[in-house]
Amino acid sequence: MDNQMQILLARLQQMRAALQDEIEQRRDRFRYRIDRRRVIFDADIRRAHREARESLGSFLARTRPMVVLTAPLIYALIVPFALLDLCVALYQAVCFPVYGIEKVRRRDYIAIDRHHLAYLNGLQKLNCVYCGYVNGLIGLAREVAARTERHWCPIKHARRLAETHDHYPDFADYGDAETFRKQLQARRKP
């Protein structure tokens, strides 16, 4: 990777870190802490959250009918997502050790914690569990695929993509056969 790309990557990593720092600083404002992966709010904040919760009846009464009608379609997707989860876990467990690829930690991607928020009603909590699982699973699957791509075919695409994974900048440029071969040889060494 050339110097300019390293500079840009470093700036990108700094910006991501700054964004995460800003998000973490807001914890003080909402007065919670994380103790052994469990979120703990101050007692007065928990009380205020319970008071802010909208009842399920009120929530459903103001929900548009088309939202109710499309909800089963959204929730039916849990079947293919669960199948994807199973396939990704099996693929990673079987193939990654053979190829010498470091496994992706599930908990780094899937976070299911919003259902503990007292200001959400039961349906909102269910929705949050679903979204936390599905979006985390997509991120997990993307990282597993990215590590696979890095191992087998680390070549940038000819055209610009809307978004790329974090390993992509290290890939050989499109058309650079020499760098591609060198990268493959380096990755295949025991």
Q: How far apart are CA 116 and CA 122, in angstroms?
A: 10
The secondary element (H helix, E strand) that includes residue 29 is helix 3-30
Show the tokens assigned to 107: 């908990």
Question: What does the pLDDT average to over 74-78?
Answer: 96
* Higher-scoring residue by pLDDT: 190, 28: 28
Q: Tell whether the model's pLDDT for residue 190 goes beyond 70.
A: no
Residue 147's pLDDT is 96
Residue 91's pLDDT is 98
The pLDDT tens digits of the residues spanning 83-127 come to: 999 999 999 999 999 999 999 999 999 999 999 899 999 999 999
Question: What does the pLDDT average to over 29-48?
Answer: 86
CB 119 within 8 A of CB 50: yes
CB 151 within 8 A of CB 99: yes
Residue 160's pLDDT is 92
- Average pLDDT of the chain? 92
Residue 31's pLDDT is 80
Residue 155 DSSP class: B
Share of the chain above pLDDT 90, in %: 69
The number of residues making up the chain comes to 190
> Tokens 């007692």 — which residue?
43
Q: Tell whether the model's pLDDT for residue 189 goes beyond 70.
A: no
Question: What does the pLDDT average to over 19-35?
Answer: 83
* Higher-scoring residue by pLDDT: 27, 177: 177
Sequence-separated (6 or more) residues with CB below 8 Å from residue 68: 60
- Tell me phi and psi for residue 111, to 5 degrees: -125, 115
CB 128 within 8 A of CB 120: yes
Residue 187's pLDDT is 78
Q: Tell whether the model's pLDDT for residue 164 goes beyond 80.
A: yes
